[in-house]
Structure 1
Amino acid sequence: LAPGLMPRRIAQACSATGQPEPVTRGQITRCILDSLALAHRRAIEQAQELSGRHVDVIHMVGGAARNRLLCQLTADASGLPVVAGPVEAAALGNVLVQARALGLVGDVPQMRQQVADSQPLHRYEPSGDRAAWDAAARRISG
């Protein structure tokens, strides 16, 4: 979306879908995080449909993995556990690919274990009102 006037545009989108309009910075932030969690849910559902495979857990990497509330909301919205980390996934992947090319690292399972041993991972279990998340997902899917 085009930048600018985001609080006003969020309020308009909420109004258009019959939801309360966020007013405070906290309400706007929570609206954004809830929307991201629902987008994650939608992406997982689409990936399952397209692949014909079931997803058991969501792995969040990169900067979003630092946001505990987003991780928990994603678990709640999707009904799936979320494993968060590593935060610097792209940089770690780059280092490991280069190390493997130089023969310094073995196979993929060994590389995964090295990352797991060196990076804290956090697990978030789904909780909260599942019916409310289902209703919100229906509301945004049209």
Structure 2
Amino acid sequence: DGTVRYLKNVMGLWVFNEAVRTWRSQGLEVSYAEIDAAAEACQALRTVVDINDDAFFAPGDMASRIDDYARATGQPLPRSIGEYVRCINDSLALAYRRAVREATELSGHTVNVLHMVGGGIRNRLLCQLAADATGLRVLAGPTEATALGNIVVAARGAGLIDGDLAALRRLVRSSCELATYLPDPTTAARWDEAEQRIFASAS
């Protein structure tokens, strides 16, 4: 449609899913609800990692790799599943923060809202952390964004509907429920410190 879309690859829930897979292979049967609740109860930003570091790309024991990263950066090691998952969530939010800043600098456009889609938005803690880390309002939904996007584009191609991309987005938005997360400005200094903790030497 004559537009330019900036793309930045950010690690998704791969690290989380690999960690859960490893724990379950070790006989620790915990539900996602239990994991999310445990993470939410843990101290924020106690330990953070560069989630896009090469150490986290390959399959394997992510908890051990987080330990190695924490030792190398002088941070406390997580002591429980909840603390490992909190570390992953906090680190993902930091990655979103940096990606939004980079997109803003490259495009010259101000970002006012962060849209989060896909299955990961079921993690309400992650959505709230994304809002806090970026300082932006987050609109979460839909969970089946890829399927809905394919449907409306195919329908337009078949002549069943018309409109530009903005119109198609409005159509999708009107067909699903979105959750809104507002940033907590009192956490801004803590996010600044956490980012400096792991990225200062590289900047």
- Length-normalised TM-score, structure 2: 0.67
Deviating more after overlay: 64-73 vs 11-20: 11-20
Alignment match, 1:67:
123
Which residue identity lines up with residue 108 of structure 2 in the other structure? G
Whichever residue aligns with residue 140 of structure 1, its letter is I
Letter in 1 for 2:170: Q
Higher helix share goes to which structure? 1
**Paired residues, number:** 142
Amino acid at match of 1:80: L
Whole-Å separation in 1 of the counterparts to 2:162 and 2:170: 11
Q: Does 1:120 align with 2:174?
A: no
What is the CA-CA distance between 1:129 and the residue it aligns to? 1.6
Q: Does 1:87 align with 2:143?
A: yes
1:135 maps to 2:201: no
Displacement after TM superposition at 1:20 (Å): 1.4
Match of 2:93 in 1: 37
* Partners of 1:65 and 1:7 in 2: CA distance: 23
The answer to whether the aligner puts 1:110 opposite 2:157 as a matched pair is no
Q: CA deviation at 1:110?
A: 3.5
Rounded to whole Å, the distance in 2 between the matches of 1:77 and 1:19 is: 19
- TM-score normalised by L of structure 1: 0.94
Unmatched 5+ stretches in structure 2: 1-56
Structure 1 counterpart of 2:142, one-letter code: P
Within the candidate set 16, 23, 26, 2:79 is matched to 23
2:134 alignment partner AA: S
- Percent identity, aligned pairs only, is 54
| Greater shift in the superposed pair: 106-115 or 7-16 | 106-115
Gap runs ≥5 in structure 1:
none
Runs of 4+ with >4 A deviation: none
Aligned amino acid, residue 123 of structure 1: T
- Cα shift at 1:103: 1.1
1:101 aligns with 2:157: yes
